[in-house]
Amino acid sequence: MNTPVEGFSKLSKAEKIDWIAKHYTKDAEASKQILEQYWNADAKVQKLHDEFIENTISNYYLPFAVAPNFLINDTLYAIPMAIEESSVVAAASKAAKFWLNKGGFKTQILGTEKVGQVHFIYKGNTQTLQTFFEELEPKLRKSVSDITENMEKRGGGIKKIELRDLNEQMEGYYQLHCTFETLDAMGANFINSCLEQFAKTLKEKAQSYAAFSEDEKNLEVVMSILSNYVPNCLVKAEVSCPVAQLDKNPVAAEEFANKFVQAITIAKMEPYRAVTHNKGIMNGVDAVVLATGNDFRAVEAGVHAYAAKDGRYTSLTHAAIEDDTFTFWIEIPLALGTVGGLTSLHPLVKLALEILQNPSAKELMEIVAVAGLAQNFAAIRSLVTTGIQKGHMKMHLLNMLNQMGASESEKQQLVQYFKDHIVTHASVKEALEKIQSQ
């Protein structure tokens, strides 16, 4: 039976590997070889990766790809994507090419407001607290002047500090609800540093506020933290064209447009469909967020909360036909950065941003939203025409052949064969065995 380990973080990398391989794998030497196989040959690069997180023993690789031909606001982009799922990059590229000669993608930044909160308990007179807050607010700003100085020089900083009374939800519960502009930084460390100082100042000033009773002076700060829900850090991306341009056959184009709008309507009404619908959008969003060194978990949490903002989980995308014009769009909250964090450390992140022509945070928001919209267009187009599996399984073919141990020659033959045949695990296995038997 395995036993707990003391001081694991203090072990050397080699010692960590020895311990995990010995205690948690069947073949310690084989496991060590796999871990070492994925080390970077450049010792400096490997050390950089080792220091990103704690207890590192190897690197976990994801494919780094590019989806070309994205025309966004009349600028042509090739979009870097880091993802393991088959057909995502192909689908995005196909959608980009489809809209390339139809005006491309148009985007609009609707807001860039980030949010953070100080949560505290105060059991006293609400009006007295409100009066205290009105005197406190300028002192809060002054208390973080050394933190905000550089951000303010660039045009950012604290936008608003509000006192929110949430007694109806929990007795004595109040917030300092704060909004920020962090420009090209995602801003998590900046926001959290401000909030923690706000909390400290709140407690200190409450202790000396004459109008408070002794109990009121001892208000309790529960926590101070930014929020990943950013409904006012919002971007819109859109494509539009005459219905007739959707297909060479005007009748087929009209049928396609109507079915497409119906599919979006279903995703708006039906949560079971909406979740899978939005997951497809996030295939595109997350792949670009990850490739550019941003926090895809924060983006996911904020996006899904936004999808349920009206009390029911629904589609992030919208479609309409008006005056024989088909329009498809998305509005999505994205808190992203192009400076700080991994953007200046990870070599591939730096390269990804260079490929994107070193965008500002606003421009990256637009690019990421377009990737999500393109992914959704490709998915819905497949669903209402050929079905999702035809294209997906052909892209998955090489994964299956690799799992079955096919040689390079066998792969070439079977890729050609399955251009005209249905791909399933059984059909691939049968075709491979037939080749091998010959």
Q: Of 114, 236, 392, 394, which one is the catalytic site residue?
A: 392
pLDDT in tens, 395-405: 667 777 878 88
Residues 121 and 404: their CA atoms lie apart, in Å, by: 60
Coil, strand or helix: which one is 351? helix
Residues 366 and 334: their CA atoms lie apart, in Å, by: 9
pLDDT for position 430: 78
Active site residue 318: no
389 falls in which pLDDT band (50, 70, 90)? low
Q: Of 295, 346, 363, 366, which one is the catalytic site residue?
A: 295
Phi, psi dihedrals of residue 324, rounded to the nearest 5°: 60, 25
Average pLDDT value for residue range 24-33? 95
pLDDT for position 432: 80
Average pLDDT value for residue range 256-276? 97
Cβ atoms 333, 326 nearer than 8 A: no
Q: Parallel, antiparallel, or unpaired for β 220-227 and 173-181?
A: unpaired
pLDDT for position 1: 58
Q: Of 85, 113, 181, 270, which one is the catalytic site residue?
A: 85
Residues 295 and 192: their CA atoms lie apart, in Å, by: 16
Phi, psi dihedrals of residue 176, rounded to the nearest 5°: -95, 110
Coil, strand or helix: which one is 21? helix
Rounded to 5 degrees, what angle do the CA atoms 408, 413, 414 make? 95
Place of tokens 């025309």: 71
Residues 395 and 181: their CA atoms lie apart, in Å, by: 42
Active site residue 304: no
pLDDT for position 436: 82
Cβ atoms 328, 373 nearer than 8 A: yes
Residues 398 and 418: their CA atoms lie apart, in Å, by: 11
Residues 310 and 306: their CA atoms lie apart, in Å, by: 8
- Residue 386 carries which side chain, given as an amino acid letter? T
Active site residue 434: no
- Residue 22 carries which side chain, given as an amino acid letter? K
Place of tokens 């391989």: 21
pLDDT in tens, 91-138: 999 999 999 999 999 999 999 999 999 999 999 999 999 999 999 999
Q: Parallel, antiparallel, or unpaired for β 75-82 and 64-72?
A: antiparallel
pLDDT in tens, 300-353: 999 999 999 999 999 999 999 999 999 999 999 999 999 988 888 899 999 999
**Share above pLDDT 70 across residues of the chain, in percent, rounded to a whole number:** 97
425 falls in which pLDDT band (50, 70, 90)? confident
236 falls in which pLDDT band (50, 70, 90)? very high
Q: Where are the domains of the chain?
A: 8-50, 65-106+234-385, 114-227, 392-437
Q: Of 49, 259, 279, 304, which one is the catalytic site residue?
A: 279
pLDDT in tens, 152-170: 999 999 999 999 999 999 9
Q: Chain-wide mean pLDDT for the chain? A: 93
Residues 96 and 105: their CA atoms lie apart, in Å, by: 9
Does residue 24 register a pLDDT over 60?
A: yes
Does residue 265 register a pLDDT over 70?
A: yes
| Tally of CA atoms within 13 A in the half-sphere of 389 that contains its CB | 5
Q: Parallel, antiparallel, or unpaired for β 64-72 and 173-181?
A: unpaired
* Fold assignment, 114-227: Alpha-Beta Plaits (3.30.70)
Residues 115 and 225: their CA atoms lie apart, in Å, by: 9
Does residue 237 register a pLDDT over 60?
A: yes
Q: Is the dihedral of CA 87, 93, 96, 101 positive or negative?
A: negative
pLDDT for position 147: 97
- Residue 281 carries which side chain, given as an amino acid letter? I
pLDDT in tens, 71-88: 999 999 999 999 999 889
Active site residue 295: yes
Query: Which CATH number describes the domain made up of 65-106+234-385?
Result: 3.90.770.10
pLDDT for position 56: 95
Tell me the two tokens of residue 232: 């006012």
Does residue 391 register a pLDDT over 60?
A: no
Q: Parallel, antiparallel, or unpaired for β 64-72 and 325-333?
A: unpaired
